[in-house]
Amino acid sequence: MSKKFQVIVACGAGIATSTIVVDRVERLLAENNINAEVRQVKIAEAKQLEDSSDLIVSTTILPTTYSIPAIVATAYISGINEEAVDAKILEALQG
């Protein structure tokens, strides 16, 4: 059984833009047969969750540094260069 990754999707309030990104990330991971649980949180909560997570995908500027990969995914909101973000997410989880 392959590892189940824990992915955090964070935005300023944990509601609006992260909902769009959660859908996109879940679809991307499913298409690439990556077993992952995707959680939607406020960016302020990300720091306390990093020890139990494998990746942070954020729709906002990162307020701090993290011990796990953190990807700013504003491209998913703007629709510009989304494939580059897809590639970063897959690389972070596939190594």
Give the pLDDT confidence of 18-47 residue by residue, as tens digits: 788 999 999 999 999 999 999 999 989 999
C-alpha 31/C-alpha 43 separation (Å) is 26
What is the pTM assigned to this prediction? 0.91
Residue-wise pLDDT tens digits, 36-93: 999 999 989 999 999 999 999 998 888 899 999 999 999 998 999 999 999 999 999 9
Q: How confident is the model at residue 16 (pLDDT cuts 50, 70, 90)?
A: confident
Q: Which domains can be identified in the chain, with CATH numbers?
A: 5-94 (3.40.50.2300)
**Active site members:** 11
Residue 39 per-residue DSSP state: E
pLDDT of residue 1: 52
What tokens were used for 35? Answer: 């077993």
